[in-house]
Amino acid sequence: MKQSKSGVWVSWNKNISYNYKSLYSIKTEQELQEVIANTDKVRFFGAKQSSADIAAGTDTLIDITTYNKILSYDDSERTITVQSGVVLGDLLEAIESKGWCIPCLPDINTITIGGALATGTHGTSGNLLSEYMIACSLILADGSIKEVNERDKLMDAVRVSLGVLGVMSTITFKCEPIYTLHVKEGPESDKEWLPKIKERLQRHDFLRVLWLPHTDKGYVITGDKIDPDTKIKENLGPKYLKHRRKTSKILYKYTHVFPWITAIANKLLYRGFFNSRKEHKGSLYQATVTKSRGSTLELAEWTIGLDQFPIVFEELKKEINKWSNKSFIHIPMDIRFVYKDNSWLSYAYKKNIVTMGCVSRNAATADTYEAFKSIESIFLKYGGRPHWGKRFTAKDNQLTKVYEKWEAFKLLRSELDAKNKFLNPYLTELFNEIKN
């Protein structure tokens, strides 16, 4: 295995960096076991795209991205087994070529499977990605392997586990037959789209709302399963729409100095980029997942029960529209829907939820972005839960109130990793563990 001595680990958007003493790029399960067994403290990382400080911060680090083979398929069961460093885009291409799909996908394809599962990565109008995992091998703190499958109670804890119970090594996903989505997109006023959420979730196979703060508008995207041969009137809108992210970046350039510019920029972005209707078709992956991003960003995301969402939304909107509040929010706030599951640290543990993203297009000035503070305080007030891979400040004493299984998870973590091998400084504080 390749080992590099001392260097600096830097996250994708450059907001987190750490010196390390040893970095291992592993290619086999045995190498993974060996490094874990022979170190006192270790973290492991995939594409480094999390905004939360969970992937590094220990002297020894393991790069999982070189552990990225597709291992096997079972055609009759429609399952695929992969090493955890495989990139989501590669996994999806492999299963699409089989005529299969995973029916709920995040809006990014460059993340690793290990990173995605560990942080509870989700898509829209379906389950978390981790709900499609039916088995995995977990490398425990002593370097031994634990096989976990759907019949084990442990699976509900492992599915979303922040890489603190062990390192997921090989992972088996259950897939579904691929389908074609007929996607329609267009703007609607808040008065129109907000009351229609439940009805649309019943009617459509896909629903996403890109909320446009400071404009009173949302951009609604619906998708319906159709026969792939169905003819549709394709309309991809004007060609310049592809420059939306670049234009946003320019318009928001000085919003950390003069936050109010955001309100004007958003009105312009709405008129330029969210004011036309689109219609197209394709697989879920081809029709709805962003394939490339020109620049980095910083993200927060909060989740709340479906029934509570309208109240939380109205309060957030009222708050950010006050000029006394400096929370001018960049476009868009991504609103998505996740169905209930049984995973202990899932945002959707036993209830259907709505997720609401909050983006700062200036990653470097994210510390001064008031919007992250406003969204956190409003969602927490209503029992909302933060996305594990994104930016938030809540710790143990708040998380225990919003996650029913938080204490059970902590107990399990301390049993499986009694010496806190897998805790970096951020995770030590998150779980309120004593540093050792």
Ligand X SMILES: Cc1cc2nc3c(=O)[nH]c(=O)nc-3n(C[C@H](O)[C@H](O)[C@H](O)COP(=O)(O)OP(=O)(O)OC[C@H]3O[C@@H](n4cnc5c(N)ncnc54)[C@H](O)[C@@H]3O)c2cc1C
**Which stretches of the chain bind ligand X, using CB under 6 A?**
43-50, 54-55, 64, 84, 106-108, 111-112, 114-116, 118-119, 121-122, 162-163, 167-168, 293, 299, 387, 389
Residue 50 CB, nearest approach to ligand X (Å): 3
Residue 122 DSSP code: B
Residue 60: partners with Cβ closer than 8 Å, 6 or more residues away:
20, 21, 22, 23, 24, 35, 39, 41, 42, 43
Q: Are 74 and 413 in contact (CB under 8 A)?
A: no
Alpha carbon distance 40, 36 (integer Å): 8
Q: Considering the complex, what minimum distance in angstroms separates the CB of residue 297 from ligand X?
A: 6
In the complex with ligand X, which residue's Cβ is closer, 107 or 190?
A: 107
| Sign, CA torsion 363/366/368/369 | positive
Q: Alpha carbon 407 to chain centroid distance?
A: 23
Residue closer to ligand X (CB basis): 102 or 118: 118
How far is 141 from 148, CA to CA, in rounded Å?
15
Q: Name the residue whose CB lies closest to ligand X.
A: 115
Query: Closest distance between ligand X and the C-beta of residue 47, in Å?
Result: 3
Distances (CA, A) of 363 to 11, 253, 384: 11, 11, 24
Contacts of 19 (CB under 8 A, 6+ apart): 6, 7, 8, 9
Which residue's CB is nearer to ligand X, number 184 or number 336?
A: 336
- Cβ proximity to ligand X, 26 vs 316, nearer residue: 26
Q: Please give the structure tokens belonging to residue 304.
A: 């709340």
Please, are residues 281 and 98 in contact by the beta-carbon 8 Å criterion? no
Find the shortest distance in angstroms from Cβ 178 to ligand X.
Answer: 20
Q: Which residue number, 47 or 306, has a Cβ lying nearer to ligand X?
A: 47
DSSP-derived letter for residue 216 is T
DSSP state of 401: H
> Which residue's CB is nearer to ligand X, number 87 or number 175?
87
Minimum Å distance from CB 125 to ligand X? Answer: 13
Cβ(19)–Cβ(7) under 8 Å?
yes
Among residues 44 and 274, whose Cβ is nearest to ligand X? 44
Degrees, nearest 5: CA angle 290-294-299: 70
User: Which of residues 178 and 359 has its CB atom nearest to ligand X in the complex?
Assistant: 359
Instruction: Provide the 10 A C-beta neighbour count for residue 268.
Output: 14
CB 385 within 8 A of CB 344: no
Cα gap 189→198, rounded to integer Å = 17
Cβ pair 113, 80 in contact under 8 A: no
- Between 163 and 187, whose beta carbon lies closer to ligand X? 163
**Cβ neighbours around 21 below 10 Å, total:** 12
At closest approach, how far in Å is the CB of 233 from ligand X?
28
Output 106 or 386, the one with its CB closest to ligand X: 106
Phi, psi (deg, nearest 5) at residue 321: -85, -5
Nearest by Cα to 9 from 45, 38, 33, 40: 45
